[in-house]
Amino acid sequence: MKAKILLVEDHKTQAERALEFLEKEGYEVILVENAKAAIKEAKSQPFDVILLDLVLPDMSGNEVCRWLKLDSHTKGIPIVMLTSKDSIPDKVAGLEAGADDCLPKPYNELELNARIYACLRTKALQDELKEKNRQLEELLVKVELLSITDPLTEIYNRRHFETIMKKEFARVIRYNIPLTCLIIDVDYFKRINDTYGHQTGDSVLKEIAQIISDNLRKEIDTVARWGGEEFIVLLPETKKEHALNPASRILKIISEHKFSDIASDERITVSIGIASAPDPFIDNSEKFTRAADNALYEATEKGRNRIEIA
């Protein structure tokens, strides 16, 4: 694949000579004659190197260089400043403006090609580093997601839920904001595993996790696998009486749901325990979840497929 060069040169003879040489060397070249056109081209399509004349009719090459190096889309393009001024201060000014190299006019074409090649090599290394950084960032995101996700149901795991719970409960203590917790247990789950096998049991848990997630407020409520066949839900800024709505909906939908690989005449149900804060007897997150768990125990003792409130 040809390297693409933006040649910014307003001197007609020099531009034609450079264009002929560069195309002969196998580069794809776009020629422009002024600063505005150079900035427009650089932003509209990708270039591997920019050869930039210092003296242009509408703006100095140093100013163009500064503009390009400030733009996130063009700052990574190597710039070779072409200057008829061969003084040290002029070279320093070009480098300070962001140029990667400076080449005095009239330049030797072999030297120009060598400097382009050096820029391309540096850019290739930078592009490779950017790609590796991008891949590393993606990997870190995946690792972080795995560390907070239950591998079977793909909802949050217990450890991450406890972290969220502590933060939400701190808000309850500090601002007296209501918070409700639901603990949901699949009724007679052992019988499902014994009758249909653990693979079907896992499928049931995944479907229940999806039903619960679908019936909560997106980006507000939190659901996690609490352990085994238990799920836990956190409803911020929700009083216990208002939590009955989503809890009843979840209870009903699960009881009416046709689960994969389960006999069509068999119903799977859940029991739900509800606890809310603030509460004079609940002063930390551990007591909060224990209250919901006690309510769940009461629901199972009273026959299952029901909701009990602490």
pLDDT at 112: 92
Cβ contact 269:305 at 8 Å: yes
Tokens of 305: 């497929």
Strand partners, 272: 184, 307
Question: Percentage of the chain surpassing pLDDT 90?
Answer: 87
Q: Where in the chain is the domain with CATH 3.30.70.270?
A: 158-309
pLDDT at 298: 97
Q: Where in the chain is the domain with CATH 3.40.50.2300?
A: 4-137
Q: How many CB atoms lie within 10 A of CB 155?
A: 21
Q: Is the dihedral of CA 215, 154, 288, 171 positive or negative?
A: negative
Q: Which CATH number fits domain 4-137: 3.30.420.40, 3.40.190.10, 3.30.2020.10, 3.40.50.2300?
A: 3.40.50.2300
pLDDT band at residue 277, thresholds of 50, 70 and 90?
very high
pLDDT at 260: 87
pLDDT at 92: 85
- Amino acid at residue number 92: V
Task: Compare 177 and 89 and report the one with higher pLDDT.
Answer: 177
Q: How many CB atoms lie within 10 A of CB 286?
A: 13
Task: Give the pLDDT mean for 98-122.
Answer: 92
Task: Give the pLDDT mean for 231-256.
Answer: 96
Cβ contact 43:49 at 8 Å: no
Residues near 141 by beta carbon (within 8 Å), at least 6 away in sequence? none
Task: Give the pLDDT mean for 216-220.
Answer: 94
pLDDT at 39: 94
pLDDT band at residue 164, thresholds of 50, 70 and 90?
very high
Closest to 61 in 3D by CA, of 101, 94, 104: 94
pLDDT band at residue 105, thresholds of 50, 70 and 90?
confident
Strand partners, 50: 6, 79
For 180-194, how does the pLDDT look when each residue is reduced to its tens digit (9 = 90+)? Answer: 999 999 999 999 999
Cβ contact 99:53 at 8 Å: no
* For residue 89, pLDDT beyond 90: no
Tokens of 95: 């480098």
pLDDT at 86: 66
Tokens of 32: 């422009």
* For residue 87, pLDDT beyond 80: no
Question: How confident is the prediction for the chain on average, in pLDDT?
Answer: 94
Classify domain 158-309 by CATH number.
3.30.70.270
* For residue 168, pLDDT beyond 90: yes
For residues 207 and 225, give the distance between their C-alpha atoms in angstroms, rounded to a whole number. 13
Crossing angle of the two packed helices 109-148 and 12-24, in degrees rounded to 10: 60
Task: Give the pLDDT mean for 82-93.
Answer: 79
HSE, side-chain direction, 13 A CA sphere, residue 149: 12
Tokens of 80: 């070779």
Tokens of 181: 């917790």
Residues in the chain: 310
Closest to 234 in 3D by CA, of 306, 154, 162, 147: 162
